[in-house]
Amino acid sequence: MNAQDIMVQEVICVDIDARLPEVKALMEQNSFHHLPVTEEGLLVGIISDRDLLRTISPFIDSLSEQPRDLETLNHAAHQVMTRQPITAKASSPISEIVTWMKHVDISCVPVVDEENHLLGMITWRDLITHAKF
């Protein structure tokens, strides 16, 4: 079994200059934990829900909110994303993807073509869904 056999092909992405409120809203509306970041159609990074937790002030919308807390919302995707994420090709064996995910402790792998256009995503949930026990 290869990446193309289990990857999700309809992937929502954000542009490198998207602001964090847009990123956060997309992730919440779609129950995503990861969001690919593109520039001119090419994958340049990935943002996780943990990246947002580290960047966005927890005091927003609270009685303790300060102007500096709101300033954390002005960051762009490229300021918080993981650059050069580990990727796979459509023909990559699932066993190789699982090995990478375990080795570097990641929970998703973007699938790209030779030019780095995003073709799909594989998450640990996709692996479990397609596992043959």
Could you give all domains of the chain from N- to C-terminal order, each with its CATH number? 3-129 (3.10.580.10)
Looking at residue 68, its pLDDT comes to 84
- Whole-model pTM: value is 0.87
Q: What is the CA radius of gyration of the chain?
A: 16
Q: Give the C-alpha separation, 119 to 15, whole Å.
A: 16
Looking at residue 133, its pLDDT comes to 60
Segments of the chain with pLDDT less than 70: 133
Strand, helix or coil for residue 40 = coil
Strand, helix or coil for residue 48 = strand
Looking at residue 62, its pLDDT comes to 83
Residues listed for the chain: 133
Q: Give the C-alpha separation, 114 to 123, whole Å.
A: 21
Q: Give the C-alpha separation, 1 to 100, whole Å.
A: 16
Helix (H) or strand (E) holding 95: helix 94-104
Looking at residue 4, its pLDDT comes to 96
In 88-129, which residue ranges form alpha helices assigned H by DSSP? Answer: 94-104, 124-129
Looking at residue 64, its pLDDT comes to 83
- Residue written as tokens 């602001």? 19
